[in-house]
Structure 1
Amino acid sequence: MPLIEVISSLLGRASRALGLETIDTFPPGHRYADTRWDKAYFDIPSDYKPERIEQAMADAIINTPSVFVYIEHPTPRMQRALLGVIHARLRRASTPPNDLLAMLIAAYASPRTQEAVPGLRAAIAGTDGYDPSMRVAHLAAWLADMPAAFDVIDAQ
């Protein structure tokens, strides 16, 4: 191996270890290793531990819910962050947050997305084949009937 490649490899490792790079996935072997996000929307340093990564992602979703669309296979915690925003908007507004509900439905298009709230996958799957606006309306109604579902405490 040429010296330049060795030096480049060592610099890359040091850069990641010091948190100088932005990552777009959990570490290999992590239980949410399938989860991916667009680095352009989430500035997650490479030295963050998985718990801190997930918290940073959830905080970003709470602050700017529209970034949820840039996550593939969101973790249950990320989904609960979005569900919390949806729930707050359902309580405050007369119209449901259709854009956020549509993002949640899209996330469940993949079977690799883990369920955040018991019955959510079934509620979404029950509307397969419906018009997108009807799917959103059914999900909004289902979520409106479950106010306690968003008070789930994240287990370590």
Structure 2
Amino acid sequence: MPALIPTLLKVMAQVSRVCGFETASSFPPDHIHARTRWRGAYFDIASDRKPEQIERAMCEALANTPSLFELIENPTPRMQLTLVAAIESRMRRSSNMPDDLAVLLIKAYASPHTMEAIPGMRDAIEQGARDGDMQECIGVLLGFIRARPSFVDGDIIDSGAPLRLVR
């Protein structure tokens, strides 16, 4: 009988997740981005959603409030591109630099498990971080972003279609 209780609790937890009674805080274990974790209370994503729906909801939240990026561990490339779009937008539209958002991206790349969203971004961050000066690292990252063509044509989050580069 005592062995039945843990089994019963495990089954109840699985049923709760499948029915969407819980808030998701990661992708399913067999998903390509299984290492991506976030604080579920800030995103309120039902656990019964498909991974594509989860990522879309996360990107929508990041597009509206880029500072939420701080609550994500090992963000997906699409989440990173959403933050890069916010950085680009700030660089184009305002006189203040998006240093706070750049720091979030730099911190995400501290993990070796964070997949590189843009070829060369990890190298740019590591190059800037060599001296240990965060301002230098921010400058190198923003220079890297500024030197490339705009990453997004329209909205990253729309329709789930592949991203289109703007030339």
Q: Deviations over 1:115-140 (max 9, x none)?
A: 11111111111112241112112211
Name 1:148's counterpart in structure 2. 150
Matched-pair contact (CA < 8 Å) for 2:23–2:41: no
Which of 116, 137, 156 aligns to 1:135? It is 137
Name 1:66's counterpart in structure 2. 67
- Tell me by how many angstroms 1:4 deviates: 5.3
Name 2:44's counterpart in structure 1. 43
1:24-103 aligned within 5 A: 24-103=25-104
If the length of structure 2 is used for normalisation, what is the TM-score? 0.84
Matched-pair contact (CA < 8 Å) for 1:42–1:60: yes
- Tell me by how many angstroms 1:33 deviates: 0.7
Aligned residues: 155
Moved more, 91-100 or 129-138: 129-138
Unaligned runs of 5+ in 1: none
If the length of structure 1 is used for normalisation, what is the TM-score? 0.90
Q: Percent identity?
A: 47
Q: Deviations over 1:78-133 (max 9, x none)?
A: 00111111111110012211100000011011111001111111111111224111
- Tell me by how many angstroms 1:40 deviates: 2.2
Q: Does 1:123 align with 2:131?
A: no
- Tell me by how many angstroms 1:76 deviates: 0.1
Structure 2 counterpart of 1:107, one-letter code: A
Moved more, 123-132 or 99-108: 123-132
Q: Write the distance in 1 (CA, Å) between the matches of 2:32 and 2:125.
A: 24
Matched-pair contact (CA < 8 Å) for 2:62–2:69: yes
Unaligned runs of 5+ in 2: none
C-alpha RMSD of the superposition: 1.9
- Higher relative contact order, chain-length normalized (CA < 8 Å, sep 6+): 1
Moved more, 143-152 or 81-90: 143-152
Q: Write the distance in 2 (CA, Å) between the matches of 1:13 and 1:130.
A: 45
